[in-house]
């Protein structure tokens, strides 16, 4: 026969006291960051991961940027560059195509020009 272990349940009053203490001493701890702050944070984390050549982690942070801002062409361009570096050319071409389509009305924009140059580089390499 097994012995029963007594489990102590927390007191709801002490939970409320803990929350009020946290809110008193850390007033900003429960504030959700704004979208632009998150994008800046994810961009920083992406750059750190890229410098450390952790490309899978870099792609995760780029995807987080794109969850917040699906039309962020810089993040799409960076994803294409990473896929190109990893020799995953179909995915790189897909990302570059998205950038070119999203910036088709701004053909002199640096992001558009970089995507076109990278696309032509891949096509030249594959032919």
Residues with Cβ within 8 Å of 99's Cβ and at least 6 positions away in sequence, in order, are 73, 76, 77, 80, 111, 112, 115
Distance between CA atoms of residues 95 and 101, nearest Å: 10
Domain boundaries, the chain: 33-126
Which has the closest alpha carbon to 74: 37, 46, 54? 46
Q: What is the pLDDT of residue 108?
A: 85
* pTM summary value: 0.72
The reported pLDDT for the residue numbered 9 is 57
CATH 1.25.40.10 fits 33-126, yes or no: yes
What are the φ and ψ backbone dihedral angles of 34, each rounded to 5 degrees? Answer: -75, 165
Q: So what's the pLDDT on residue 80? A: 96
What is the pLDDT at residue 35?
77
pLDDT digits (tens, 9 = 90+) for 97-126: 999 999 988 888 899 999 999 999 999 988
pLDDT tens-place string over residues 48-97: 999 999 999 999 999 999 999 999 999 999 999 999 999 999 999 999 99
Mean pLDDT of all residues in 39-43 = 92
């Amino acid at each position: 026969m097994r012995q029963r272990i007594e489990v102590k349940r927390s007191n709801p009053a002490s939970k409320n006291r803990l929350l009020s203490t946290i809110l008193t001493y850390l007033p900003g701890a429960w504030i959700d960051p704004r979208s632009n702050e998150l994008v800046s944070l994810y961009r920083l984390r992406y750059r750190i991961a890229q410098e450390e050549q952790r490309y899978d982690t870099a792609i995760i942070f780029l995807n987080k940027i794109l969850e917040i801002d699906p039309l962020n062409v810089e993040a799409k361009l960076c994803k294409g560059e990473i896929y190109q570096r990893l020799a995953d050319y179909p995915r790189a071409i897909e990302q570059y195509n998205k950038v070119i389509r999203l910036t088709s009305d701004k053909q002199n924009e640096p992001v558009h020009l970089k995507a076109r140059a990278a696309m032509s580089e891949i096509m030249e390499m594959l032919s």
